[in-house]
Structure 1
Amino acid sequence: MLPRILADKRWQQLLLLAATGILQSVCLILLISWGRHVVEGAEPHSPVPWGLGVMAIIFLAAGRYVERFYAELLAQRYIFLLRQKVFEKSQSLAPKDFRIADKGGTLLRLTGDMTAIRNWIVQGMAPLIVIGLWFIVSLLALLQLHYLLGVALLVPLLVAVAGNYLLGRYLFVQSEQLRRRRGEMIRNVTEKLRQLPLIRAYNQPAKETRRFLRQSQRLMQSQICRARTSALMRGMNEAILLFTMLTLIGTGLHLQQQNIISAQYMAVLMTAALYLLGQLRRLTRLYEFWTLKRVAEKKLVQFLSRNSLHEGRKNRISGIFKVELQQVFCSNRLTPQSFTINSHSRILLRGGSGSGKSTLLSAIAGLTRISGGRILLSDKNIKSYRSRVISQHICLVSSYLPLLRGTLKKNLLYGARKLNDKDLQAVCSLCELNNPQELAQGLQTRLEEGGANLSASLIYRIMLARALLRKPSLLLLDEDVAHQSLDVQQVIRRLAGTFQGAIVLCADFSGAEEICPQRWDLTGVSDAGSANNKVIVMEQYAKGK
């Protein structure tokens, strides 16, 4: 499900890292050879050994730069692709999962999970490749001197691998729990920061503070537990590394006493062992990075495995625009409904509280998944059309689709199609958005998220104008408190007389029947038994039956 790290030519960076490891191994051999040459009594002023030694040091330093930079380059290119994939997935979620992307989890995926994967590539995988090649070369060199030196280096490191595996299982569980509790806190804080007026209005800051304190304490406990296991793992690795070096040096001293290796080789061996100790220490967090990467990948795979919005193949609507509902229902929200909306219909949607008015409009707009029945668009199942075709022809005006933070112009032009200045001016005039007392800076007036700095009437008129600039064939006007505003009622009256497409108005104000002579009455879910007797099919209503 996740893209491969080495796909799309990213393997080239991996080859460069491998080449860097090989080059650094060669440089290390040259450096050791130079050291052996010096201790064996080379000419002190001979330029060749000293030149090779200096060159080896330069290449070793340059290799660290190449390793760090290209590992970061590989990681960032992969994270860029992965981040894009997560964001695109959040936009293509099925209607039932729309709220999943807005509960703090997406933020955690785009930050914490991406950081964990990046750390694994830069501080785990790349050093493993480079230092792993060093280790292989060092092991081969030691085996050539004597097999006991190879055993002294290899056995403790195998013990380290086994110990990291056993501790890593606990670290994985604790990392999962830590991520879950961090996600809970992020979701809670995100929700409460958006609802500060509600918290203050009901005098609940103390309650929310206590709740945050409990979540923060649980998060702290999880972090402490994970830190304990991580610290134990690092301590174990450090002890094994030191034991490895002592074993290696002790074995070398034993071989020297047996006259198997000379004192000069012993000095070179100690120098190489100390240098190798510093490099292997970089791998002490390897398993920790890998564990965090596994947790991040598990959560990302779960998210990317969610069902996406099913896209049809039709790119355009043929024939006369018409929407037909055939026994459409949503479990526990909307009883079966059968209606037809013609190209120039003016329908007044009414029903008691809980009858499913908003659900019905959202289902027609493709934003709510229906449990049964069919919605036909120009005699074709609406599922056979691409989502962009549906959004072009059907536009919903609802508080469910709030305003964005930014300028008024940015909000109005969001999704606008085939627009010119004349269209923009006409829509602004129709929706009464040219009043300097309401919008002092005109189209450059700044809006807060959701239009928090505007009146309900102005918010609704902006949302209506935004929908009209989409030039839809069907306009769905959901129930809103702004309908009680005389300004909004006047705008809707003018709209009903000038709009070329169909309108479904969900409102309950005086004169709404004059605006929309057709009626669409819904019955609540609890009254489902009598719903069929009250349904009026639109074709019959239009014919006066």
Structure 2
Amino acid sequence: MLPPILAEKRWQQLLLLAATGILQSVCLILLISWGRHVVEGIDEQSSVPWELGVIAIILLAAGRYIERFYAELLAQRYIFQLRHQVFEKSQKLPPKDFRVADKGGTLLRLTGDMTAIRNWIVQGMAPLIVIGLWFTVSLVALLQLHYLLVVALLVPLLLAVAGNYLLGRYLFVQSEQLRRRRGNMIRNVTEKLRQLPLIRAYNQPGKETRRFLRQSERLMQSQVRRARTSALMRGMNEAILLFAMLSLISTGLHLQQQGFISTQYMAVLMTAALYLLGQLRRLTRLYEFWTLKKVAEKKLVQFLSRDALREGRRRRIAGKFKVELQQVFCANRLAPQSFTINASSRILLRGGSGSGKSTLLSAIAGLTRISGGRILLGDKNINSYRNRVISQHICLVSSYLPLLRGTLKKNLLYGARKFSDEDLQAVSALCDLDNPQELTQGLQSRLEEGGANLSASLSYRIMLARALLRKPSLLLLDDDVAHQSADVQQVIRRLAETFRGAIILCASFNGADEICPQRWELSGAFDSALVNNTNVIMMGRYVNDK
């Protein structure tokens, strides 16, 4: 559910808006009283001076300022809380929903939906409160003159409410369709802008342009349909509003002819009607803003209602560091596996293409939801720990976790834990990041998103250094094209000698088995030749081995 608009002391702004409405009501009464005395020809000795009208006008202007500013303040404070809630939710999505936060709908939630809610608060709710209060006072004042004046004003306005309700149903459907098509186009454009090299390499600019034009045309059609309904609603509201004013003035003239009200009061009534017309015109888009707000709220509620990643309560590992997998599997991606990782293990993970090597490492790191089995961390189910504890002890180096746009220092220190300058220098030296020929500006060297401006070798070494600054207990090195680089192989050799924690290396270069003497084969077939090798563990049979 969405947070209440008036929570977090935002009700104070609402009270101020209500006070503004009351102030404007009083000022309107003062202005009408002043106008009545002017029309009746009160002399200079009157107790109602001309300054009264000036003061009323100034207070009405001040009330308009207060209404606009504090309505915006109320809206922005609410949007701030709502935006934070959406962003927090996107970070708590379970692994299967990680890609949801990367779609165009998220951009719409943080921009379009927030704007729709803001417009409702500033241009809908706030004017409704302020104008509603002084309009109620105006009706009471008209009732003192004659009840027919109230009837003449209320009947057209009730017709406007009914008409807005009927048209609003169509506007809601059209607004939903418009938002959906806008999201589809944003998703497509975002994806294609990231894949421009692929589009150019396969000579598909024409195809993508035609697809974009189709989406843009459908979006335009939805916008035109909504604009037609919105324009019809505004035209209807304007007509009914003018009819209400005409009805009010006509009723006043009729009452004047019948002798129920004087000529002076009739002049004041016409002046008040003109002012009333200008103020009520601000409410002609009220239902439109409310409809767009309802669409935005519906989409936000759907997003916030998604299942969140559930965290355990344990804040530290119970006992000595150890990871044990018991018949862990991922449907259609990884067959059941059972194995144990000790605090200083050096494990070489191998298997054919599609055997589930990357899935296995991602599952250990908690980035892939397993379909069955258990993962134990320090003799306790890994789900009983907080995410912070898991990420502190287990760190994955993979192209699945790319570099960020920014400086080298920003990337290295992203998630670093209690590091010193000596730690940074030692890790940089270990990963060969102190070469000025590769990084001409040192720690201030600029990186593009995903390290697009770097070689595969350099990108991998930076990702490795970033992981080391997390000071993990288990380092998972996923398969990467950079492993074929002699520089990366040398770094991994030094890492295996100096790193105090456990390492699982997924690689196929020559000499990898020397770096990690213990070997795991992800293979469904049982090779008897491997059984005699005590350094090789067939993972499908490991659970039964003693």
Aligned to 1:273: 273
Change (3 A) 1:187 1:381: same
Aligned to 2:537: 536
Deviation of 1:536 after TM superposition, in Å, equals 3.1
Tell me the secondary structure at the aligned position of residue 267 of structure 2.
Answer: helix
Instruction: Work out whether 1:319 is the aligned partner of 2:319.
Output: yes
| Mapping for residues 140-289 of structure 1, pairs under 5 Å | 140-289=140-289
Greater mean deviation of Cα atoms: 385-394 or 101-110: 101-110
Aligned to 2:386: 386
Aligned to 1:71: 71
**Partners in 2 of 1:417 and 1:373 — Cα distance?**
31
Does the CA contact (< 8 Å) of 2:526 and 2:538 recur in 1? no
Letter in 2 for 1:89: K
Tell me the secondary structure at the aligned position of residue 487 of structure 2.
Answer: helix
**Partners in 2 of 1:528 and 1:187 — Cα distance?**
42
Letter in 2 for 1:172: F
| Mapping for residues 96-495 of structure 1, pairs under 5 Å | 96-495=96-495
Change (3 A) 1:162 1:543: closer
Aligned to 1:87: 87
Change (3 A) 1:49 1:312: same
Does the CA contact (< 8 Å) of 1:335 and 1:528 recur in 2? no
Does the CA contact (< 8 Å) of 1:338 and 1:537 recur in 2? no
**Partners in 2 of 1:287 and 1:543 — Cα distance?**
68
**TM-score, normalising length from structure 1?**
0.96
Does the CA contact (< 8 Å) of 2:456 and 2:481 recur in 1? yes
Runs of 4+ aligned structure 1 residues displaced above 4 Å come to 44-47, 527-530, 537-545
Tell me the secondary structure at the aligned position of residue 402 of structure 2.
Answer: coil
**Partners in 2 of 1:244 and 1:508 — Cα distance?**
82
Q: RMSD over aligned Cα, in angstroms? A: 1.9
**Partners in 2 of 1:432 and 1:113 — Cα distance?**
47
Tell me the secondary structure at the aligned position of residue 48 of structure 1.
Answer: coil
**Partners in 1 of 2:146 and 2:394 — Cα distance?**
80
Tell me the secondary structure at the aligned position of residue 232 of structure 1.
Answer: helix
**Partners in 2 of 1:435 and 1:69 — Cα distance?**
55
Tell me the secondary structure at the aligned position of residue 347 of structure 1.
Answer: strand
Task: Spell out, residue by residue over 1:480-537, the C-alpha distance to the aligned partner (whole angstroms, 9 max, x if none).
Answer: 00011111111111111111110001111111111111111113xxx5999xx99936
Instruction: Work out whether 1:34 is the aligned partner of 2:34.
Output: yes
Greater mean deviation of Cα atoms: 438-447 or 44-53: 44-53
Task: Spell out, residue by residue over 1:415-471, the C-alpha distance to the aligned partner (whole angstroms, 9 max, x if none).
Answer: 111101111111111111111111111111110111110000000000000001111
Task: Spell out, residue by residue over 1:191-239, the C-alpha distance to the aligned partner (whole angstroms, 9 max, x if none).
Answer: 1111111111111111111111011001000000000000000000000
**Partners in 2 of 1:538 and 1:353 — Cα distance?**
16
**TM-score, normalising length from structure 2?**
0.96
Q: Alignment identity in percent?
A: 86
Tell me the secondary structure at the aligned position of residue 440 of structure 2.
Answer: coil
**Partners in 2 of 1:394 and 1:191 — Cα distance?**
31
Give the aligned length.
540
**Partners in 1 of 2:474 and 2:347 — Cα distance?**
11
Letter in 1 for 2:199: I
**Partners in 1 of 2:170 and 2:107 — Cα distance?**
26
Does the CA contact (< 8 Å) of 1:333 and 1:354 recur in 2? yes
**Partners in 2 of 1:346 and 1:376 — Cα distance?**
19
Does the CA contact (< 8 Å) of 1:417 and 1:469 recur in 2? yes
Does the CA contact (< 8 Å) of 1:518 and 1:542 recur in 2? no
Does the CA contact (< 8 Å) of 2:337 and 2:540 recur in 1? no
Letter in 1 for 2:125: M
Tell me the secondary structure at the aligned position of residue 49 of structure 1.
Answer: coil
**Partners in 1 of 2:440 and 2:189 — Cα distance?**
34
**Partners in 2 of 1:377 and 1:104 — Cα distance?**
37
Does the CA contact (< 8 Å) of 2:522 and 2:539 recur in 1? no
**Partners in 2 of 1:296 and 1:542 — Cα distance?**
52
Change (3 A) 1:187 1:539: closer
Does the CA contact (< 8 Å) of 1:431 and 1:461 recur in 2? yes
Tell me the secondary structure at the aligned position of residue 311 of structure 2.
Answer: coil
Does the CA contact (< 8 Å) of 2:326 and 2:543 recur in 1? no
Letter in 1 for 2:216: S
Does the CA contact (< 8 Å) of 2:37 and 2:48 recur in 1? no
Letter in 2 for 1:260: F
Tell me the secondary structure at the aligned position of residue 164 of structure 2.
Answer: helix
Task: Spell out, residue by residue over 1:116-136, the C-alpha distance to the aligned partner (whole angstroms, 9 max, x if none).
Answer: 000000000000000001111
Deviation of 1:40 after TM superposition, in Å, equals 1.1
Deviation of 1:540 after TM superposition, in Å, equals 9.3
Change (3 A) 1:528 1:62: farther
Letter in 2 for 1:435: N
Does the CA contact (< 8 Å) of 1:340 and 1:538 recur in 2? no
Change (3 A) 1:436 1:212: same
Change (3 A) 1:343 1:537: farther
**Partners in 1 of 2:544 and 2:19 — Cα distance?**
81
Deviation of 1:171 after TM superposition, in Å, equals 0.3
Does the CA contact (< 8 Å) of 2:323 and 2:340 recur in 1? yes
Deviation of 1:318 after TM superposition, in Å, equals 2.6
Deviation of 1:538 after TM superposition, in Å, equals 7.4
Does the CA contact (< 8 Å) of 1:37 and 1:49 recur in 2? no
Change (3 A) 1:45 1:205: farther
Change (3 A) 1:393 1:537: farther
Does the CA contact (< 8 Å) of 2:337 and 2:539 recur in 1? no
Tell me the secondary structure at the aligned position of residue 427 of structure 2.
Answer: helix
Deviation of 1:106 after TM superposition, in Å, equals 1.3
Change (3 A) 1:381 1:537: farther
| Mapping for residues 505-544 of structure 1, pairs under 5 Å | 505-523=505-523, 536=537
Does the CA contact (< 8 Å) of 2:330 and 2:370 recur in 1? yes
**Partners in 1 of 2:231 and 2:145 — Cα distance?**
36
Does the CA contact (< 8 Å) of 2:521 and 2:539 recur in 1? no
**Partners in 2 of 1:306 and 1:541 — Cα distance?**
38
Change (3 A) 1:47 1:206: farther
Tell me the secondary structure at the aligned position of residue 214 of structure 1.
Answer: helix
**Partners in 1 of 2:287 and 2:175 — Cα distance?**
12
Tell me the secondary structure at the aligned position of residue 439 of structure 2.
Answer: coil
Tell me the secondary structure at the aligned position of residue 329 of structure 1.
Answer: strand
**Partners in 1 of 2:200 and 2:215 — Cα distance?**
21
**Partners in 2 of 1:220 and 1:24 — Cα distance?**
42
Deviation of 1:49 after TM superposition, in Å, equals 2.9
**Partners in 1 of 2:485 and 2:294 — Cα distance?**
55
Letter in 1 for 2:275: Y
